[in-house]
Structure 1
Amino acid sequence: MSRYEQYDRLGAPQKRGQATEAIVRAELVSRGVSVLVPEYDNEPYDLAIEIDGTFYRIQAKTAFEATTDGAVRFRTRSVRTKGSGYEREGYEGKIDIFAVYAPTREEVYLIPIEDVGETQMTIRYAPARNGNTKRVNWYEDYLLDAVLPSLGWNPVG
């Protein structure tokens, strides 16, 4: 059974979120990145990493297949259930990076908060059918191993 099939069988969004956090942590740790996890669950970030003396607050998100072929999408706002309905809140000033796990692709992306849209972001892994190439977020630019060096990370070895 593939990792995606295992992930898909989890069903509940909370379990999938926990799996996403664990996968992101494992991918970072396996590259020698120091990962810190907040003691409490009410922080706006899920973990922090330290690279070359600098700390980065990270929010882990799960990407889902976009409605357009060849892309995945994730939400850039938190949604909390309140007695009066749903509360949606952005992460500006609260995190530095989104770490996004795309189960269907089995890939982890790191996206600086400055690069995301107000409510969601689409990451394209195949050209659009309509041929659009403007303002496209290509997956290669956000792959974990593509972004970590820009943060000062040097591979273990």
Structure 2
Amino acid sequence: MTEKKQLAKEGEMRFAAEFLRKGWQIFLPYGEDSPIDLLIEKDGTFKRVQVKATSPIRGAIHCRVKSSNNWQTKKYTKKEVDYFGIYDYLNQKGYLIPIEDVEGMTEPIIRLEKTKNNQNKKIRLAERYGYF
């Protein structure tokens, strides 16, 4: 298994453990052709989660919320995914981002700290999405 694949699996398992701790049931799709990594259920409500592993660059997390292979790149839609679980493997933190906040984007940026000029418009602060 490549290091990248191992970090992706670590992120999936960290999110699964946190969902379990918070009372969700976890279902794992079979194979690698599914747009989701985790299906979670609590009180009859199901949510689909796509997990991405990454690390911060200059105080921000660049979330690649797209699927790609050698031939094409595909943006996820709310018909496929409810949340993106972004796993920062350097700091071992997870951020849960609703698809509505990033739908149609390929690489939204989640800032770990406020901007130096205090800009707020179109800024996504990590503290808003912190999950573990």
State how far apart, in whole Å, the 2-side matches of 1:72 and 1:60 are: 14
State how far apart, in whole Å, the 1-side matches of 2:46 and 2:24 are: 11
Q: TM-score w.r.t. structure 2 length?
A: 0.87
Contact 2:83 2:97 in 1 (8 A): yes
Contact 1:110 1:144 in 2 (8 A): yes
Q: 1:87 corresponds to which residue?
A: 72
SS of 1:65's partner is coil
Matches within 5 A, 1:1-150: 12-66=3-57, 69-81=58-70, 86-92=71-77, 93-116=79-102, 118-144=105-131
What stretches of structure 1 move > 3 A for 4+ residues in a row?
none
Compute the RMSD of aligned alpha carbons. Answer: 1.9
Paired amino acid for 1:41: E
Question: What are the Cα deviations for residues 62-98 of structure 1, in whole angstroms up to 9, with x where unaligned?
Answer: 13213xx3211110101112xxxx3211111211111
Q: TM-score w.r.t. structure 1 length?
A: 0.74
Q: What percent identity do the matched residue pairs reach?
A: 32
Gap runs ≥5 in structure 1: 1-9, 146-157
Paired amino acid for 2:65: T
SS of 2:72's partner is strand
Q: How many matched pairs?
A: 130
Q: CA deviation at 1:11?
A: 6.2
SS of 1:120's partner is coil
Larger Rg, first or second structure (1 or 2): 1
State how far apart, in whole Å, the 2-side matches of 1:23 and 1:65 are: 18
State how far apart, in whole Å, the 2-side matches of 1:39 and 1:110 are: 23
